[in-house]
Amino acid sequence: MRKIIGTLGSHCSLQVLKGAKDEGFKTLLITEKKRYHVYKRFNFIDHVILVDSFRDVLQSDIQNRLNKLECILIPHGTLISTLSSDEIESINVPFFGNKFILRWEADRNLKQKLMLESKLQVPRAINSKSEIDELCIVKLHGAAGGKGYFLTSDQNGFEEGFHKLLNDNVVTDENELYIQEYVKGVPVFLHFFYSPISGDIEFMGVDRRYESDIDGISRIPSKHQLNVPTEPTYNVIGNIPLVLRESLLEGVYQMGENFVQASERLVPPGIPGPFCLEGVYTKDAKFITFEFSARIVAGTNLYVSGSQYSEFLFQNGMSMGRRIALEIKNAISKRKLDRVLT
């Protein structure tokens, strides 16, 4: 029986492994050698596999070691930004959750399809630069943490932004960019957990991101802002806690339920475990979803000792990392481990 929980040393690994330890599991970290000096400080990490690059997890000798130790891998954002969907699916070690839905997170077209199937309200997708007729945000494919995004209100602005990315060797073709209506309001990230063992959807917490340099622009007086030459960027530096107006919770749970059901229809076995709906509350308090993450998000790092919402469901400081370990524990005791692994 698998009794070790492992993950890549980045993103939310401390929270995941601390939570696993608190639930009685042994823990394993796969980390790049250059980061080891950080992780060696924490006594809840039992095993360490040192690698030159996270991509080494594709090597069969690493996978054999993980299987010999009977490890369950917890996927997170670093796995998605480091490996392609084909590479992730090729890894021959059990993953917690549905590894096949990670492809739907990484591919913008599949992502849009799942969001629409979930009846989420989404920003208008702009199919061509000539159709840009309002403020738009131009994005790169994949989990780039908001790096390289730019805003534009017309085709010229798009071309200018594209050429800058081209010169910086970030993209090679316009088709690598995705244009979306810029939704005006406040960005909010909703953290959910779905348990196929209990059948419950749990709203575990909410955060907003602290992004550089867009979140610093308001600190520059407007007369100087006009002279700032660079396009604002959305590079995530950290996360800020938030609570919602209680009357918004009804809509939050409805969106979570719709997303779980749509995932089960489109990508069996659906979405066991954590996921995040990412969007903007508009001035009429409507939630427009611009993204989802089909796995644990780093915003949950805020709530290592539980969140305002997890405290209503669990009494013992339930982080998302710990919730994952608890689900594995419950699945093992009910002999339903296959329901939460792929």
Taken in order 44, 50, 54, 57, the sign of the CA dihedral is negative
Is 291 a binding residue for ligand AMP by CB under 6 A? The answer is yes
Among residues 95, 104, 203, 290, the one that binds ligand AMP under rule CB under 6 A: 290
| 45/277 with CB nearer ligand AMP | 277
238 is an interface residue for ligand AMP by CB under 6 A: no
Total site size for ligand AMP, rule CB under 6 A? 16
Chain position whose Cβ is nearest to ligand AMP: 146
306 in Cβ contact with 317 (< 8 Å): yes
Is 4 or 236 the residue whose CB approaches ligand AMP more closely?
Answer: 236
- Phi and psi (nearest 5°) for 194? -110, 125
Residue 234 sits in the site that holds ligand AMP (CB under 6 A): yes
Q: Would you say 20 or 122 has its CB closer to ligand AMP?
A: 122
- Name which of 77, 278, 89, 300 is nearest 183 in CA terms: 278
Q: Report the nearest approach of ligand AMP to the CB of residue 230 (Å).
A: 16
Binding mask 56-95 for ligand AMP (x = CB under 6 A): ----------------------------------------
Strand, helix or coil at 301? helix
Q: How far is Cα 309 from Cα 77, in angstroms, rounded to an integer?
A: 23
Task: Give, as ranges, the residues between 263 and 282 that touch ligand AMP (CB under 6 A).
Answer: 278, 280
Cβ burial, residue 264 (10 Å; 0-12/13-18/19+): middle
DSSP string, 149-203: -EEESSHHHHHHHHHHHHHTTS-SSGGGEEEEEPPPSEEEEEEEEE-TTT--EEE
**Residues making contact with ligand AMP (CB under 6 A):** 123, 137, 139, 146, 149, 180, 182-183, 187, 209, 211, 234, 278, 280, 290-291
